[in-house]
Amino acid sequence: MEEYKIVSHSDKETILLAQNIESEKFPNMVICLNGDLGSGKTVFTKGFAHAMGIDDVTSPTFTIIKEYEGELPLYHMDVYRLEDSKEDIGIEEYFDKGGVTIIEWADMIKDTLPEERLEIKFKIADDNTRVLILKPYGEKYTSICEAIV
């Protein structure tokens, strides 16, 4: 499976990447974000949401799922606090509600994720630099990666 590597030198570049991916969005899109605390997952999500016309995005740490209305609905999940990935909070239901789902800490619920998705791993290189590894699962996601890289 092909991976695409992008180096971001600032929050601004991470936001730009998010906006580029947003411009390729489609209903039922699923984006899985993984990486350490402070690696840029929420920055990415805010950039993506902003491009959709949504500006009040906050990390859904305590609510797990936040829903926003934009050009398409945006479902922002932070599953870090899910003790047991088998716990049924209906995450799967969001994957086919016609919106875009962005999941932070998606590795925690790997067995719940849809087969077709875009995974982005954020690695901290230094204070400002992040290495983003994009891994598409499915043709639609591969096309997105090829369009933006």
CATH number of the domain enclosing 22: 3.40.50.300
Check pLDDT > 50 for residue 85.
no
Q: How far apart are CA 127 and CA 48, in angstroms?
A: 22
Residues whose CB falls within 8 Å of the CB of residue 72, separated by 6 or more in sequence, listed in order: 25, 27, 52, 98, 99, 100
The pLDDT of residue 83: 63
Average pLDDT on 14-40 reads: 96
Check pLDDT > 90 for residue 120.
yes
Range of the domain at 115: 4-148
- Residues 38-73 pLDDT 10s: 999 999 999 999 999 999 887 666 678 899 998 899
Q: How many structural domains is the chain composed of?
A: 1
